Each structure stands twice: as C-alpha cells, then as structure tokens.
Structure 1
C-alpha cells in the first residue's frame, strides 16, 4: 500500500483501503475539497456517473470526489439531507445508493467490505443528524406562529434540507395543530 503523508486522518483512512488504484490523485488533493475543521472517517472507491473516484465519509458529510486530468467532480451529501441508504453487494463489489433531498445517487463498483462498512456508518451518522431533540408543540398555537412555521418549512424544502415527502408530512402536522 502506498504512503501518501497527506494528513493524519486521511492517511489513517487510506491505510484501511484494500487498494488505491485509480484514486491516488483524489487522495493527494482531498484536503482541497474538505471544509474547515472537517475530518475524514472512512474512504472507499467507486464509480459515480462517468468517473471512478473516491467516496469520503467525514464527520459532517459524505463526498464523492473525482479528480481527473481534464475535469473534477465533487458531490456532497450532508448527513441532515440524506433520508436513507441502500447497500447491495455481490461477490466482490456492490452498489451504494444514497437518497438525499428527493434525489437518488448510485455509486457502483464499491468493494464489498468497504461498501458494507461505509453504509453501516452512514446509517449511524444519518440517525445522529436526524435525532436532534424536538420540543412538544403547544396545545393551541397562535396563527402567527403557524405562518412562521410554514414559512420555515418552505425554506427547508427550497434549500433541499427536507424531501417533498417530509415537507408534506410536516405541513400536515402543522395544519392539524390549528
């Protein structure tokens, strides 16, 4: 296994990869796509769209990163916007499907051991992101509060923080509280 000496968290995640073939450029340039204070927890290889790249699980989001000679692709999935994850594995490889903000992303040719572990950890992160404490709604909410809650809900949907299904469910609950 090649040694990269990029950053301690990245190097630790690289050490757990079964192979770095086709992802050396992504590993070397990974700090350029990470946010301030973001740390890498797990890496896997896979194919998304037309590119063979690197799946990166951080403490804040899941990132698919492809860094080619002529083009780059970075797509991220913040945990709060991921509604579910599906893993289907074959003998050696599998497909990780991520459902986020009403969209579906299929990352194929993920090595079976890496994909299963990544899917399990991703489910845990989603659960942590969505299990924020909620407050009980008051018995009778003032009309101004309802309008404010509906406006906030509209903003969340527009920003892609919730799916259309979540939007409908929450809107119904708000209107039922009248």
Structure 2
C-alpha cells in the first residue's frame, strides 16, 4: 500500500458520517512546534465540507481541520520539487509544499470551488463530537490548551 493510501485510510476515521473524500494530496506541511518552524509529512484531504490535514508521528498523529467557510484565500505554485498549496484560514497561513503524489488537480479545483462556502451538510452535533474528541486529546496531553481553543473556534466557525 502506498504511503498516501495508508495515511488517507488512517485519517478516514476522523471524518463525519457520510463525509466523502473528494481528493487527497501528500506533501510536507509547514507548522510550528513549541514556537519553532517545522515540517510534518502528511496528507491534505478535501471533502465536501472541509480540508483536513493528517500526519502520522512516531507516537500519535497531527490532525487539523479547516472548514471551507473559514478559508479566505487559496494559492498554488509549482517548482522543481513539486507543487505548493497555501491558504488563509481563520487568520492563519496554512502551507503544504513538495506535493508530488495524489489527485493534485482535482484537489485544487475542488478547494477553489468551495473556498468561503458554508457547509450545508455539517450539523452542530458533529462539531460537538469533534470538540469532545479534541478535549480527550487535550486531557491526554497531545494538544495544549491553546491548540484546543484554536481548533474549537475553527469547528464553531468563530
């Protein structure tokens, strides 16, 4: 099984009921850990409701959720090492680079069509369930209080 297929399968457990994956891409996600810039290899999943980032770590995983309604702009570029995708969500810049695997064109087209749109399929119950999962991760020490609050606001569309 290819790495992208394995990560997509693992990430699928965090989707809402009846939330289809439209396209996925594999690359290096730029993020901060303890205030320092770092890269996380993983996948972006474009669904009918949102973009999810899922990256496997030695002990656990990283998961970030970006509802289309919270995305204000979307940028793509292509270089020698592959494509890059950047977008602004809730005031934060999100970037994945070195994308060479997955349904890149389909992913880009789907996200461009949905940027800024509210999901009609998302219910408040699903957001509550997701917040409960995040609270468990916070209690287990996987998420900090600040990370929990940021993700909770994203889910609530604040």
TM-score normalized by the length of structure 1: 0.56
Task: Give the aligned partner of residue 75 of structure 2.
Answer: 86
Count of equivalent residues: 116
Does 1:44 find its partner at 2:25? yes
Question: What pairs up with 1:95-110 in 2 under 5 angstroms?
Answer: 95-110=84-99
User: Could you say which structure has the greater relative contact order, defined with CA pairs below 8 angstroms and 6 or more residues apart?
Assistant: 2
Unpaired segments ≥5 residues, structure 2: 31-38, 121-151
Contact 2:25 2:101 in 1 (8 A): no
Unmatched segments (≥5 aa) in structure 1 = 3-19, 133-157, 163-178
Q: Which runs of 4+ in 1 moved over 6 A?
A: none
Aligned mates of 1:59, 1:122 — CA distance in 2 = 9
Instruction: Note closer, same or farther for the CA distance 1:55–1:113 as it changes in structure 2 (3 Å cut).
Output: closer
Answer with 1 or 2: which has the greater Rg.
1
Higher helix share: 1
Q: Does 1:62 align with 2:43?
A: no
After the TM superposition, which residues 13-162 of structure 1 pair with which residues of structure 2 at under 5 Å, given as runs? 20=2, 22-49=3-30, 50-91=39-80, 93-111=82-100, 114-126=103-115, 129=117, 159=153, 161=157
1:73 and 1:113 map into 2 onto residues whose CA distance is: 19
Specify the alignment match of 1:141 in structure 2: none
